[in-house]
Each structure stands twice: as structure tokens, then as C-alpha cells.
Structure 1
Amino acid sequence: NITTDTLTIAGAGLISTAMSGDTLTISTTATADQNLWATFNADTGTTTANTTTDTLTVSGGTGISTSITGDILTITTPALLNVVEDGTPVLGGNLDVGASSLVKSTNVILSFSSGGEAAVNWTDISTALTGSGPIIRSVGADTNVDLVLDTKGTGDIDVSTNKIVNVVNPTANQDAATKNYVDTTTATTAQGTLADTALQNIVEDGSPQLGAQLDVAGNGLGDGTNLLLDFVEDASAVNHIEIENEATGSGPIIRAVGADTNIDLKLTPKGTGAISVADATNYETNVTADDDIPNKKFCDDTYAPLHDTINAQTGTTYTLVLTDDGKLVTMNNASANTLTIPTDASVAFPIGTRIDVMMIGVGVTTVTGDTGVTGCARLAEQGILIGRR
């Protein structure tokens, strides 16, 4: 009804309209010749909408539908499926959460429960509040469930220089030992079970003490060289003893060492105890060098017969007789004198005969042999001659 009905056409934004007679002009300040519908507000310039050739199409993509009723455009899409309703969801590829995280309303963010096999125990991974660490926990139907950390091949479990805490004392041979167990339990019955009596680290203990005999079980004490023991006791002492072993052909050594240039080596027995030299019966072969020390048996066998009886001669001549065996014959005369050793034909001295001759006068004593006896000697200035057959 042209009398009562009114058609109003108005533009918005960059669009203006004008009516002249039966002509409707729609103008825009956007760029000319743009898609009228797609970039309506971006167009500039003025163009006339051709209702015959211009079409506004609204369509949906996959799973989306559209409908127009009057001036209302409705876009419809089906709702996303609730994953809770899918009891056995299966990933078709890797699950990439990007910069996001897997979360849950509780602290347990992952729970690997059994599925597809007869297992009844599994693992939970839980988050924690400030001040506590996240938890990897074994759970399941069993009352006691181990948590096994199993590496591949010869790989190790690396805690990145951190500690493992809240560990109980070990009971089996392959259980890890705690500090408390090492400090207080690794002691013998004689040493006790408390930390102050248990074995301590001898590197840190400057005065370690053995609680019982040290059994080297067939091995030896040493520092990697020939040195076996080095006794340094008094802090003010500068001299001490070393015990050293030797290679084949040489005997072990007990040596005095220290800061002094010349150090005695003292062997001190206790009470009336004696210092014994082994192989006392083999003195004939053991006491051979000038610096060898004879033992009591050597001295008894060698010097015991001496001075049992003294045969004092005051004349100028004397010939030994059989009874002089084991005696000391003294030659005491102001003038020169002679002692004669007879032949076996005259005096048959037995093997082992020992006769000592001493000149005690001012006259020189000459020891000579009878006809057939070789060897002689001269004694002067209180000289002594020891003869043995």
C-alpha cells in the first residue's frame, strides 16, 4: 500500500543509500569492485547492488548445516562426543599436547591400570602441592606391591647427584645400605653395635684402635713397596723402626731410621728374658766373618778349656807335655826364652787339644817346633798365642 506502507533502506558503516524515483542507490567508501558480501565493511567507492546477479551464499562445512528463515541465519553443528562415554578410546597416532598438560581434577594425572592382560597392579603418577615432590606410585589389588625400576641392558639408574631418602635398614644381601646401618650396625659382637664402638672410616679417624686380633688371613701388611711396617709412636720422637722384606737371596731387614745421622738399634728383652739367635748348633758355619757375632755355644766350645789350669814357667826353655792340654802356659823370664812343640812321636796330643801360651816376663818368648814340626812364633810385650789341634 503505497499510501500506508513505508520501505526504509539504510546503510551502515561505510555504506550509504539514496532513493530517487524508483531507483535505489547503495554507496560505499570501501575499495571498489570488492566482493560485496565478503568484505562489505572494507569496500570503498560506490557500486549498485544487482539483485538479479549478486548472490549471498551461506553454507556449512563438514558436519555443519545452515538455514535461513526470514531474516534469521541459523548455523548448526553436532556436539563433540563426550570421551567419558567411550570406554575404550584408541589413539590413531601420537598424542601431542603441545604446550599444554594432561590434567585431572585430582592429583593423579596418569593411572596405568591393567587392560588386555591378567595384571592387577599398575602405576599412578600424581602431582603434589608446593613443598612436596610428584609421586610415582605402585597400586593395585595386591596388599604389597613393589615398584620396580628396570633399566635396559647395562643401563644405570641415575639420580643426578641427589639423595635417595626415607630408606629402611637392609635385611637381604642385595638391599641398599642406609647411613644409619653403616654407622651403627657394621660392627662385630666384640665391638658393640653403637656408633661410638663400631668400625669407623680409618681415613677420618686419626687414632684408630683394633678391638681384637688383626688377622691378615695369609696375606701381608705393606704399602706396595718392600716396606712392611713403619712404627712411629711418640709425636716428639724422630727415630723409629722399619721392617722390610727382600727378594730371593737376601734376608728381611729390621732397620733403624729417622732424623738423626747415627741411630742405634736396641734389642731389649723383658725381665730376665734373653735375645736368642737361631741355629745355635751350626756356629761352625754361621760364625765365619769378622763381623759375625758368636753365640754362647760357640764361645763355650771354643774358649771354655782356657785357663782351667796355669802352667807357670820361669826358665828360659820349656817343651810342651801331654798334660798341658787345656792349660795356660806362662813364660816369665827377664831373658829371652824358648817354648818347644814336640813331635807326635814324642807327645801324641789328641785331636781337639787346646794349649794357650802367654809371655808375661820382659824376655821375648820364641815358640818353635821340635825336629819335624813346622811353624813358629815370637811373643813380645805381653803377647798371647793360642794353639789348637
Structure 2
Amino acid sequence: MRGRPRIRGHLRTRAHDTAVPRLPAERLRHHPLRRRAVRYRLIETYRPSVRPRLDCPVHVLTGSEDPELSQERISERAGGWADLTTARTEVRTFPGDHFYLTPRRREVVATVLRRMDPSLTTGGHSGRARREPAAASPSALLEIPLIDYYSTSAEFYEMVATRHTASRGPPLRRVLEGVDTSYGPVLEIGGGTGRVTEVIASALPQAEIIVAEPSATMRAMLTSRVARNPDLRRRVTVVDGAAQDLPLPEKLSAVVIFGVAGHLTVPERVALWKRLAACLPDGAPIVVELMGVSSPRVIPPVMSLRETIGRQTYEWWIGGEPTEGDAMRFTTTWKVLSEGRTVREVTDSYVWHTFDVARLAAEAGMTSRRITEAGGQAIPEIGVLVK
């Protein structure tokens, strides 16, 4: 991009004549373009050195129609940003081109502040919300913020949860029926918005239930669901806590872990199984959602859900690819359409450590079985670990 006329034309084209004013020729020739020319020269000639990958999350903000970064490219490893960190990469797409910031200033600032505000991150979706690793003293670890994996897509979560419960609720109920709940409460790790909590309560009408959910956004919806149901209000206790450091009661009758186990590393899972085993009586179940991905593989993006609410239609797209070891990076995109036109997109990504029930049983030193059908209908796999 050399030559001031080319730079001037490029900037005016990119900004649609709004971000680059039509300054008098003498000012435009000497003052702004000189700095711009230097910036373009740096961009064109810069070659990054090889450096260790970061261990912190990276949040990418981009415009939906940016000619420099197509949606195909942003969906592929978050436009390259995902390659710079071993932690998660989250992408937020705003309507607009390269200069989306100009008309979307309030939304962008609100997004940045939400990421920076400790009240929205330290209160922390379990396993879905986790503490990022750091070399720090034990006391300093208390100050490491929780990363809320679902804060970006929380507004859409109930659409997925409704379908999720319709398919997984019957087999979960089948596993739990007959569990002796006199030994202690039933623990649900990763309660989300409370859909699975309702299934547990229905299957075990006499049980006390403790539900842990570290995401403040999810926990608000969970508490609301519990509060408006007299039976749940009496039996369900909602607590803020992630799987890795959740305080456990002395005794438990059963444990339910849905949508969480893959957010934990193998050492974290082994530690969790050991802690849970110490609270459970012989024969008590730990019911784990297997998610159907037992080893890393490429999953091309596919539309997994389409729902219409009011005047808008919502599409949920999900795909994944292997990263390192047993891990995959999943990328999800919510598309909001009005009159057949996409008016908003929200993209997020997260790392999932793959496993099957045999691997979990080996980690926990327990026996296991898979539940693959209920009522004669095929269902997504659910694993049951038995002490």
C-alpha cells in the first residue's frame, strides 16, 4: 500500500467517507497520511518472531463485513488468534466493516467492560467456568478470576437446554430412580439454568439437592427457576462453585455431571473423582454426560439448531478440530435472522478434553456402564460410574 493517493483512496473506501474526513489537500497530504503510510509500512513488512504461546484467554472483536477478515477466516482458528494461546479464544462479531467501532462504540465498550469487570468474572458455568492456571502462591490463587465460558451466548442457552433435556432427561431419570437418598444430598455439578435440576427432582421426589453453578449469568436463571417452584424451593440449594474447588458435604447419595467433564484436564478429573468417592457410599452413581466425542477429530461446522421466536429466527452452528493431546477446540456461532437476513452473529470457542466412559472409569477406579437408549429410543450417550 504505497503512494499517498492509494492510501487516501483506500482509507476513504474503507471508511465510507465517514472515518476519514475530506480535509483540505495540503493537510491531507502532509499530516494524517504520513502517519498512515508509516503504519501501513509496518503492517506490510512486520514478521513476528517465534514466541511461547500465551496461557491466558484471548478475546477477539471484529466486524461482520470486514474485507480484511472474512467470516470463513474468523471461523478458522479465530482468524489466527487462537494459535497464540493455550487457553480459550472468544470471538464477538459486530455488524459493520473494518470501522465497526464508529457506529458500535457503546456496544464495544460494554463488551470490553464486561470482560474486565471482576463482578462478572470472579463469581463466575462449571467446569464451564474455571480458574486459569498460573504460577502463584495458594493465597494468590484465590484472586485468579473465573472465566465464564457461556457469558457470551447466555441469552441463547435456554433454546439448547430445552432440546438437551428432552433427549437426556429420560435416561437420566431412569438411572436415578431407585437411588437411596437417605445417605445424603444429591449433587449436581454444572446446573446451568436448572433444566436438569428439574429432572433430578422429578426422579427423586424426596431428595435434597445441591446444585453448583459458577456462572453468575446461568446461576441467576437457575435461582429464578428454583424460586418459582415451591417444591424446588424446599429441596434445592444453589451454590456458587466450579468443579475444581467446589466444597463438598461429608456425605452424598449421587452425583450428576452434565456438560462439564471435558472442560477439566485429566489431573483435575482424577482429583474430582477421588473427592467424590470419599463422599459416596458403595453402589452410588456418578452420572456423566459423555458428549459423543471420545477422541479428537475434525467436525465441520454444521447447523445444530434452528428456532423461531417472535419475528426472529435463531441458528446455532458448531464445529471442532483437534488441538493438543486429548483436546479439541469447538467453535460455536449463533446467527440471529430477521426476514431472512442475518442481523447479528455471536461466535465463541472453547477447549474440550475428549474422553469415553472407559477412560473415566480408569481415572476414577470405578466400574462403569453406558446408557445409549431409553424407552426404545436411541439417545446421546450417558456414562454411569459406580463406586
TM above 0.5 = no
For normalisation by structure 1, the TM-score amounts to: 0.16
Q: Which has the higher contact order (CA 8 A, sep 6+)?
A: 2
For normalisation by structure 2, the TM-score amounts to: 0.17
Computing the radius of gyration over CA atoms, which structure comes out larger, 1 or 2?
1
